Chain A
Amino acid sequence: MLILRLAWRNLFRNIRRTVLTCMLIASSLLTIILMDGVMLGMIDVMIGSLTHTLEGEAQINSRGFRDDFEPSIRINNYREIQNELVHDPVVRGASARIIVGAMIASSYNSAGALVYGVDAASEKDVSKIEEAVYAGHFLSGQEREILLGRPMAELLEVELGDRLVLTSSTVDSKEIVQELFRLSGLFEFGPETLDENLIFINLDKAQSLFELTGAAHQIAIRFNRPEMANDPTLNIYKSFNNDQTEANGWLALQPTMGAMLEMTGYSTLIVGGILFLLASLGIINSMFMSIYERIYEFGVIKSVGTRPAEIIKLILTEAFFLALISCFFGIILGYFVSSYFSTNGIPMGRMEMSGIVLDGNMNTILEPYQFINFPIYVTLLTLIAAIYPALFASKIVPTEALQKAL
């Protein structure tokens, strides 16, 4: 107890230095909490934009379909699966799709496209197609409805209500089919790959057009809690990975996204590492100053029989208290600043990264580990930074110290 009291009081011998050092440590903690919050926010937006736009948080595909979108590889019992999914308590929505390549032509021009046959009602719980429609209206189940992306509409030089002819072949008999549509809506997701290539028509229309009655290629899924999406123990991953179908979370569907997440993780680590390195230099410097000022005192207490290890303990205890005070303020500060940005957002311009559009305000995300783990790391690093000064103090030679100061 006396050693604790001694260490604690030693901190307040030079209040200005202690305050400055605490500010250094606390602001490092604040920065790392904030940076992690920003990263989480950004990842959240990125994942949200990736999964909620069209892809879904998970998908069930007919096995092999995703390899090269061969339309004959289909799920025949998709209604059963969809029914089962809708009754799964973790699932928020499930939407069946037909995906077939086709040629689309207007009176002026033609283009290749990927036709998505979707069910308007169930799509509302899964994707953002409806929100992306900026002119006309979303699918309503009427036969000749078709949605085009803005660049595709510009290429085909069509306006709402104009005629479009879709040309493809039936899936099994490979016979050419042609069908007339009227442009009912224009959409814009943001990522050009989607806007330039996709076309949406009604699911039942697609089924009849391509002779895929009662079948689908893909079921896109959204969960009530998005963070569950990659949990391999989920029922859907157990039930629907068989020789008919494969079920995957977005992380498995988008390996590049996983790599990107890993990269952001590393960048937090690197920035955090540099930050802590700078902070530890500050800590080492401050500890050394405090030791130099007390050289004579160390000489005396060593003379009267204090072991070197006990001096190391004293200095480390001082560093521990320093870290404790700093973390106290760092946590409070970090909480308020990060909370502020989590409700008010950090204004960011529109930016596109690997086909994912980030737009508008970015809200930081607060997690308990930021306020538990990070302070622990900061405290450990402060202690590590104090080891060298502590060793120095423990090696002070009493006779030299006594002579120096007098």
Chain B
Amino acid sequence: MIPLINTVALSRFFGTGEAMVKALDEVSLSIEPGEFTAIVGPSGSGKSTLLHLIGGLDKPDSGTVALNGTNIADMSGNKLSDFRRDNIGFVFQAYNLIPVLSAAENIEYIMLLQGITAVKRRIRVKEMLDIVGLAGMENRRPAQLSGGQQQRVAVARAMASNPSIILADEPTANLDSKTGISLLNVMKDLNQNRNMTFVFSTHDQKIIERARRLVYLRDGKIEKEETQ
């Protein structure tokens, strides 16, 4: 079986000379479909950089990233935009949503980009909101939702485009631990019941406990890996 994601000696450097930071230093990592992986490490260890490279938001200085065997680093422009839209779901730490759109419209937005018809969009929006436990909150604007609810809408939006993988960069960092754990449970449900592959970063011990596979990063290198 080919891995869903395969990075080979992935490196990303910032700055030059003395001031150069090796944000990611020859990271090789494989992720199989259906995995629930946490990238763990202190602040500045390269978690975001790794997720950005996997998601095609950034280009490596060396090494390759392949998703389903397609080399992401080879793509650019609309092709890359469309690839991200159709294959990768993103959840960021905060402010994921467009503030002037309702929860439903935020989810609908990405399907609109995909050219899905209005009727199908509406059905799927409802389905997604149900899954993340926000039924009945369709018309709320982000400002009328709690931080945890906003992150759930972000997860619902990521799911809505039916991607191969959802990348979540410290999705719980702005939440209290109870809300964070409940968001993680939503993600885990999606992983188990819908076989959605998740890669998320965190440095929160309570969240770490709930991941199945752990990849420890330190100074841009993989320090160790654990499966629990």
Interface residues of A (CB under 8 A from B): 2-3, 5-6, 9-10, 12-13, 296-297, 300-310, 398-399, 402, 405-406
Contact = CB atoms under 8 A, between A and B. Distances in A.
Interface residues of B, number: 33
A13 B98 CA distance: 11
Contacts of B78: 307-309
B52 A399 contact: yes
A394 to B, nearest CB: 11
B94 A406 contact: yes
Q: Give the 8 A-B CB pairs with smallest separation, nearest first.
A: A305-B85, A9-B100, A305-B84, A307-B81, A398-B57, A399-B58, A303-B90, A399-B57
A305 B86 contact: yes
Given A297-B98, A300-B90, A308-B81, 5 more contacts: A297-B99, A304-B84, A304-B85, A304-B158, A405-B95
B113 A305 contact: yes
Nearest to A403: B48
A58 B90 CA distance: 76
A10 B105 CA distance: 14
B95 A296 contact: yes
Contacts of B200: none
Contacts of B77: 308
A402 B81 contact: no
B202 to A, nearest CB: 16
Given A2-B109, A300-B95, A303-B55, A10 B100 contact: yes
B45 interface: no
B113 A306 contact: yes
A307 B82 contact: yes
15 contacts: A9-B100, A10-B100, A297-B95, A300-B98, A303-B84, A305-B81, A305-B83, A305-B110, A306-B81, A306-B85, A306-B113, A307-B78, A307-B113, A399-B52, A399-B58
B101 A6 contact: yes
A13 B94 contact: no
A3 B108 CA distance: 11
Contacts of B86: 305
A310 B58 contact: no
A402 B49 CA distance: 12
B141 to A, nearest CB: 10
A300 B99 CA distance: 12
B112 interface: yes
Q: Which of A10, A302, A304, A398 is packed against the most chain B CB atoms within 10 Å?
A: A304
B68 interface: no
Interface in B89-140: 89-90, 92-96, 98-101, 105, 108-110, 112-113
Contacts of B109: 2, 6, 301
Given A2-B109, A2-B112, A398-B57, A304 B157 contact: yes
A206 B199 CA distance: 108
B115 to A, nearest CB: 12
Nearest to B98: A297
B164 interface: no
Contacts of A306: 81, 85, 113
Nearest to A306: B113
A5 B84 contact: no
B94 A9 contact: no
A308 B92 CA distance: 20
> Taking each of A297, A305, A405, which has the highest tally of chain B beta carbons within 10 Å of its own beta carbon?
A305
A9 B82 CA distance: 26
B57 A305 contact: no
A189 B86 CA distance: 81
B161 interface: yes
A402 B105 contact: no
A306 B98 CA distance: 13
A14 B188 CA distance: 39
Contact of B92 (A6, A302, A402): A402
A399 B94 CA distance: 14
Interface in B19-62: 52, 55, 57-58
Nearest to B157: A304
A399 B57 CA distance: 6
Contacts of A296: 95
Contacts of A406: 93-94
Nearest to B81: A307
Given A13-B100, A309-B78, A303 B57 contact: yes
B105 A2 contact: yes
Contacts of B55: 303
Nearest to B121: A2
A3 B57 contact: no
Contacts of A5: 101, 105
Contacts of B81: 302, 305-308
Contact of A6 (B83, B94, B100): B100
